[in-house]
Amino acid sequence: MTDTDLPRLNIAVLLPCYNEGKSIASVVIGFRKALPSARIYVYDNNSSDDTSSQAAFAGATVVPSRRQGKGNVVRQMFADIEADVYIMADGDGTYDPSAAPRMIDTLLADRADMVVGTRRNVTEDAGRNGHAFGNRLFNKIYRALFGSEFTDIFSGYRAFTRRFAKSFPASSPGFEIETEMSVHASSLRLPVSEIEFDYGRRVEGSESKLSTFRDGFRILRMMGMLMKETKPFVFFSAVSAVLFGTATLLSLPILVEYFETGLVSRMPTWMLAMTLTLGAMMSFTAGVILDSLARSRIEQKRIHYLSIAPARGEGGIGGRMQRTEDDPATYLQDLSRKTGT
């Protein structure tokens, strides 16, 4: 694909950054070369180095983002920017800007709402052994909980339609945002695609902002929260099974003693077992009720998603350049002008 192949496609490149002064200029220049007509935005998340000046010097529009955390920045970017197609990448130089046209090609050809640029060999060498292990572990957990649509849920290199960007709630504050994007697509069963590319290394002197244990815990907590919100029956049934299993283990010796002697010598343990059994029943009931509410929420999200024009190049921003016949009021106005009535 060349840039002239899509004259009506409005593309925005979004780069959330925190202290990426050593690499951001080359990243911006790379995207300007790969997508000459795209608008490039660098959202500076309270950097203490020269990220903003380097990005502006390279030709990007720099926007301050005061609320700390990548998820907060992404929420602001999607709210601020209007475009047909959004390309999101990191400012650390690990993602290849020359792959962006291929991602847009895939987005249009597959009529997808999100294309994820999966990182080749990222689970074998992610800069640190802890990161590599975490990638393998969390991708397996994701596939077990939410589905097998994705092989690299942590990739920050993604292409979106306007429909996805404007329907995505983005509640995560930090690095969990990519996981939330994936769950959003899986729960609404949106069309998604993946393409693989080489994963680069940071420039010398640049440090990763990802903490293996702290952010790993946050991601795991986010997965649990999203599981509770999107699949409450499965979540609360699992809780119910754990409580009931524990109650059974505690009560079996007491029941055996009762049938043999007619006595209950460990009354506190029996009371604890009964309390856990009641908790298991309540948890299961909550799962049944909340499952109906979750289905209703997903239906509402789906309706909102469908109310947004897809704008995969059919028109300008938000589909405003689409055929006038698709808008009855505009069509009647044009018809009146043509007929002189």
| pLDDT, tens digit (0-9, with 9 covering 90-100), for 303-330 | 989 888 776 655 444 444 343 334 444 4
Is residue 102 situated within a structural domain?
Answer: yes
Domain count, the chain: 2
Is residue 288 situated within a structural domain?
Answer: yes
Pair 283, 243: CB distance under 8 Å: yes
Is residue 41 situated within a structural domain?
Answer: yes
189 and 237 share one domain: no
CA distance 207 to 201: 10
Is residue 333 situated within a structural domain?
Answer: no
Is residue 318 situated within a structural domain?
Answer: no
Is residue 239 situated within a structural domain?
Answer: yes
Is residue 278 situated within a structural domain?
Answer: yes
What residues pair up with 118 in beta bridges, in sequence order? 196
Pair 24, 17: CB distance under 8 Å: yes
Q: CA dihedral defined by 29, 34, 36, 37, rounded to 10 degrees?
A: -120
Final residue belonging to a domain, choices 196, 212, 228: 228
119 and 241 share one domain: no
Final residue belonging to a domain, choices 198, 228, 258: 228
177 and 156 share one domain: yes
100 and 248 share one domain: no
Tell me the pLDDT of the chain (341 aa) as tens digits: 545 455 478 999 999 999 999 999 999 999 999 999 999 999 999 999 999 999 999 999 999 999 999 999 999 999 999 999 999 999 988 899 999 999 999 999 999 999 999 887 665 544 555 566 777 888 888 888 888 888 888 889 999 999 999 999 888 888 788 989 999 999 999 999 999 988 877 666 556 666 667 777 888 888 888 888 889 999 999 999 999 999 999 999 999 988 888 888 889 999 999 999 999 999 999 999 999 998 888 898 889 898 887 766 554 444 443 433 344 444 445 545 544 54
125 and 197 share one domain: yes
119 and 258 share one domain: no
Q: What is the pLDDT of residues 155-197, one digit of tens each?
A: 899 999 999 999 998 888 887 889 899 999 999 999 999 999 8
Chain-centroid distance of CA 139 in Å reads: 13
DSSP-derived secondary structure letter, 150: -
Is residue 332 situated within a structural domain?
Answer: no
126 and 264 share one domain: no
215 and 296 share one domain: no
pTM: 0.77
CA distance 72 to 198: 28
17 and 163 share one domain: yes
122 and 207 share one domain: yes
Give every CB contact of residue 272 below 8 A, 6+ residues apart in sequence: 247, 250
CA distance 101 to 279: 54
Candidates 69, 19, 18; CA nearest to 171 is 69
76 and 211 share one domain: yes
Domain residues for the domain of 151 are 3-228
Final residue belonging to a domain, choices 228, 262, 287: 228
41 and 156 share one domain: yes
CA distance 152 to 116: 8
